[in-house]
Amino acid sequence: MMMLVNCSGCRTPLQLPPGARSIRCAVCHAVTHVADPRSMPLPPSTSFSAATPPPPSPYGAPWGPPPSPHGKKKAVICGISYRHSRHELKGCINDAKCMRYLLINRFHFPESSIIMLTEEETDPYKIPTKHNLRMALYWLVQGCQPGDSLVFHYSGHGSQQRNYNGDEVDGFDETLCPLDFETQGMIVDDEINAAIVRPLLRGVKLHAFIDACHSGTVLDLPFLCRMKRSGEYGWEDHRPRSGVWKGTNGGEAISFSGCDDDQTSADTSALSRITSTGAMTFCFIQAIERGQGATYGSILNSMRSTIRNTGDAMGGGPVTTLLTMLLTGGSAGGGLSQEPQLTACEPFDVYTKPFSL
């Protein structure tokens, strides 16, 4: 059985193989030595009833002091182009670079607090493989304290697979596709939720921006904002009937995603007119730059309006030459028909809650 140890360098939780006496961290590269692996505690259980409060987090006390105005800002940005494969995308690394620029220059994230995972990175531990992406997500939440602001941005392929444990309303798990997904497998929404949602303490906030197909509920957050074209909205309850807890440990988690669970997301040059981008990432950054980022509702409406107007202008025909290959067979006809989604750990008024990172 795998056991957890904290990295001696950055305190990232690491899975120690049975019988191993040391392990190298993929994030900081430190080697952690263990005297006797059999003495290590078992990993904490992550399944419990939503009817009762979650047990104490292994990452810290759930109800700490009020948030500090001087918390850390940390981000993981992942852009995957799947170069030289039949799944190749054109705009995902552009998305990653643009998001990094936005976080540093608009939201004042320190450059040193951003981990970039793309195929262009020279550090082998920052290539967007399944293992490296998992380690980066552990790093993102490790040691989080009240006042911290965390960001996870992903631009790449997403997919779905049949759910068998009853915790999905539609019967499917949503997934992210790391660079080596064809050999190592996809990362399922249950794992993403366990890695970066449930550890969040009171006063810690996480924003995720997922530009991928089938990404509506890929963080498995309990509530989805169902918004009409008129701007009217209501929160759908996506808490699983199985009773498995999908919320945080007192913190706040909010996700913008490129499309609904049954939709595909475009990788296209139709929006920028210059280079390929993910439609969702482009529209989010544009909303911020145009001064439409005051509230979550204004951002979501701006993103949807831009995509809808682009699709209407195309008339459904020229987009065929603009979309690159979509992993799960999304249609290239009909314009940009995707609808960005907003999910959260708790419902809130999207038109009064200020957006801030």
Q: Which residues are known to be catalytic?
A: 157, 213
Instruction: For residue 124, give the amino acid letter.
Output: P
DSSP bridge partners of 152:
76, 208
3-state SS assignment for residue 238: coil
Strands 22-24 and 31-33, how do they pair? Answer: antiparallel
Helix (H) or strand (E) segment spanning residue 189: helix 189-196
**C-alpha to C-alpha distance for 81 and 213, rounded to whole angstroms:** 14
The distance in angstroms from the start CA to the end CA of the chain is 39
**C-alpha to C-alpha distance for 287 and 290, rounded to whole angstroms:** 5
DSSP 106-127: TS---GGGEEEE-TT-SSGGGS
Is the distance from CB of 77 to CB of 96 less than 8 angstroms?
yes
Which residues 6+ apart lie within 8 Å of 274 measured at CB?
A: none
Q: 279-289 and 92-105 are packed helices; what angle lies between their axes, rounded to 10 degrees?
A: 20
